[in-house]
Amino acid sequence: MSIESLETIVARRRTFAIIAHPDAGKTTLTEKLLLFGGAIQMAGAVKARGDARRARSDWMKVERERGISVSASVMSFDYADCSFNLVDTPGHEDFSEDTYRTLTAVDSAVMVIDAAKGIESQTRKLFEVCRLRDVPIATFINKMDREARDPFDLMSEIEEALALDVTPASWPIGMGREFKGCYDLIRDQLILIDRVKGGATLTDSVQCKGLDDPKIAELIGDEFAQKLREDVAMVRGLCPPFDAEAYRAGHMTPVYFGSAVNNFGVRELLLGLADYAPSPRPQKAATREVQPNEKKVTGFVFKVQANMDPNHRDRIAFVRLCSGHFKRGMKLTHLRSDKQIAVNNAVLFLARDRELAEDAYAGDIMGIPNHGTLRIGDTLTEGENIRFLGVPSFAPELLQRVHIGDPMKVKHLRKALEHFAEEGASQVFKPMLGSEWVVGVVGALQFEVLAARIEAEYGLPAKFEDAGIQAARWVECDDAVALKKFTDANRGALAEDHDGALVFLARNAWHLNRAQEENPEIRFVKTREQNKAVA
């Protein structure tokens, strides 16, 4: 394959995440994007081999019961001559670590905001993560079919709270029961919502000769037409014009208004991503930057999911391809083990449904079934010794001991905990003294989810109880003698994680501070990247 044709194929890729505060409508928007992309025939049903199957991105039993996303799902589809890889991230803040890792694998993001609530706490946190990585953000202000805040107030809040230049790509006409649609400011057309045909559906877009076109008043009435003209004049006076380069650099966010549940505004968002969102970007490695149009295949694991198929104890490693043209059956080098693996059964995703990946390119996300060989942060290449950066593990904020009533099943519990640790769903520590495992998570809800999954997937009624531990830190030291001395003196407070790395478990802040003061040669590390700790 020539470089030119590889470049053309890669340039059509759009790999993006959807991020939002809980209840902003993220999962609904995900479904409707798939609907417009032709990946599903109706919300919730997959078009695959004639079977009507569930295609919700929230496929885990605990997700369906709670109505929240706790696991990142990947869905691929084609639209407007582009190949999209959509990653639906956990909405609940207790699962922010999974969201952070997911953002290492995408080139842009769509932030969903509830029109009645505006910027919420989780929204702010996720924007911060995007800004740290210069991830371009398009904003979708959802639920305009309900009573909403003034659009100008929402725009100002985004600009002030998130320190981004804001410019509307569309402008709403009314809200709530009087929501009539939007004016597309980029394509200069009127897009109306039709409430007649058994629920709101899109009419054909109406091309306009500017805002003074008399067709506008005929379609929405004089009062709404006059307000639209006034609003747009104010918008164009207050907001900078849309700048595709500023958006791709992460400095400007185009804002789309709509109603995902009514399919409204979704098409315009998707077209905007096709036209302006970045194609696969260069990826940073330890020794150099990898360009997406390089011939050799490279990629990294950003997520591992166990038991996607409840009938098989499978583990799928989600791999973001960074360069090259992957072909089924090719051999890739697993850098951590320095071994070659033949990739014969890689898959592409539509939520839980999969198809064999005959080909894949930079920007694509494919799953490699394995039995624990691949872990989060691992690099795969066609032979070059490079290591991608930026896939972290964070020290947990909450720690509890886990035990089961039947001592004969302790080995089964260990296996379950190690599987979840490999997923990144939790941190698992085996204390040097004592037999009970310590599990660490970022948010309290994760304990409930873990207990539910241990019982559902492994048949073990596990219980979590207070461990009397407030902090965990990975231990590093360049002096082997000093490290042994520290280890011998603190065995009661030390454990190993599932990778065998040494961890200090502090009873409280005083305990941690004292250990740091008494052992200046020891580094107590909060963030650990790809089997390499960083301060």
Q: What is the CB neighbour count within 10 angstroms for residue 329? A: 11
Cβ-based neighbours of 501, under 8 Å, separated by 6 or more: 474, 475, 528, 533
Cβ-based neighbours of 85, under 8 Å, separated by 6 or more: 13, 14, 15, 16, 74, 75, 76, 106, 363, 364, 365
CB of 245 within 8 A of CB of 254? Answer: no
Render pLDDT for 319-352 as a digit per residue (tens, 0 to 9).
999 999 999 999 999 998 999 999 999 998 875 5
Render pLDDT for 3-43 as a digit per residue (tens, 0 to 9).
458 999 999 999 999 988 888 888 889 888 888 877 665 54
pLDDT score of 448: 84
Render pLDDT for 401-416 as a digit per residue (tens, 0 to 9).
998 878 788 888 888 8
pLDDT score of 94: 46
Cβ-based neighbours of 485, under 8 Å, separated by 6 or more: none
Give the Cα separation of 374 and 530 in Å (integer): 12
Task: Indicate the SS3 state at residue 317.
Answer: strand
pLDDT score of 65: 47
CA angle 295, 389, 129 (to 5 degrees): 115
Render pLDDT for 175-191 as a digit per residue (tens, 0 to 9).
999 999 999 999 888 99
Cβ-based neighbours of 5, under 8 Å, separated by 6 or more: none
Better-predicted residue by pLDDT, 385 or 194: 385
Percent residues over pLDDT 90 in the chain:
51
- For β-strands 165-168 and 137-142, DSSP reports them as unpaired
- Tell me the whole-structure pTM to 2 decimals: 0.79
In the chain, the domains with their CATH numbers are 6-276 (3.40.50.300), 283-381 (3.40.50.300), 393-534 (3.30.70.3280)
Length of the chain: 535
Give the Cα separation of 71 and 114 in Å (integer): 21
Give the range with max mean pLDDT: 13-27, 247-261, 387-401. 247-261
State the amino acid at position 261 in one-letter form.
Answer: V
